[in-house]
Structure 1
């Protein structure tokens, strides 16, 4: 019996050590990614000031983390919002300027319709029509509302009339619905991801 207890204690210790190592590696990776994003902090603040959303500079940095972690020329993946197609932006400075301009537009529209900032952030991914939808569903973004819009409005509009889904291996998605997104329906977890990435930036920015 003592040998059995010692065996289980060792297994538990090894398991806990493995978890600590994994968490340490994740923390190191996140810190490195945050450093890569913060390289663009001055550029972000200048663009935010230009478009009169300076108070949301930290949200812009979190969007960069979400979109590219600072490791892509099109840092804010703003080519589609500016040109209607991907891969038409060839400098990070243009990406920031275009992305911040688009974010300012959806923030202003959300404010006009008395919706919260996270409605605007989700609209950065879904498009500005999402703000109209939220305005008639309580004026506050939520996963439930985002999922309904993705499934019933955005996906069919872009050709997915059969409500087809695909696997999305994000921890938040796995926990919420087993990792499911609607084809052509944007990312219902976008605003929530930006929230978490904003926390990571604040945690590791010192």
Structure 2
């Protein structure tokens, strides 16, 4: 006799096999197969629910139809119908379109994107930087989606310089303050962070105000 779950041969006594055949009960090779056969996974539950819904709709088709017709006549039913139409409007329009129209729109969108970002006249286009006030090629500006031409207002050089000055004037000062407050600064750190004097003054002022 084979296992009802995995299909392997069952290593049971002949009396147990005859008893299962006589009573019409299934046989399993071990406890793991018995547990897995009784376990209801999400897929099994969905399959059982799907079959139950099909049978229920077949038996109660007229009653469900009348109930839906009565609900659609109410204000709530009309609101739900309108909401459903709006939700599937884009899919319906896309479904009704012809294949020639779909190809034309795809080509048009691609050409617009190509001209806007990677067009043939990219090297000819220029833009003025707000900091250095120089006209440079649009490739000297970083990409962003916040502007109309999808390019930053500052050129790469000015932006790199601003980031460098921010790291010197702000980040290094903060790290020097933290390191001085914890007493972990050495001579090498003082040479590495020239803002140590300002950090020391700032730390002394904070200490005085807190006292």
TM-score tier, shorter chain, comes to under 0.3
Instruction: Give 1 or 2 for the bigger CA radius of gyration.
Output: 2
How does the TM-score come out when normalised to structure 2?
0.20
How does the TM-score come out when normalised to structure 1?
0.20
RCO higher in 1 or 2 (8 Å CA, sep ≥ 6)? 1
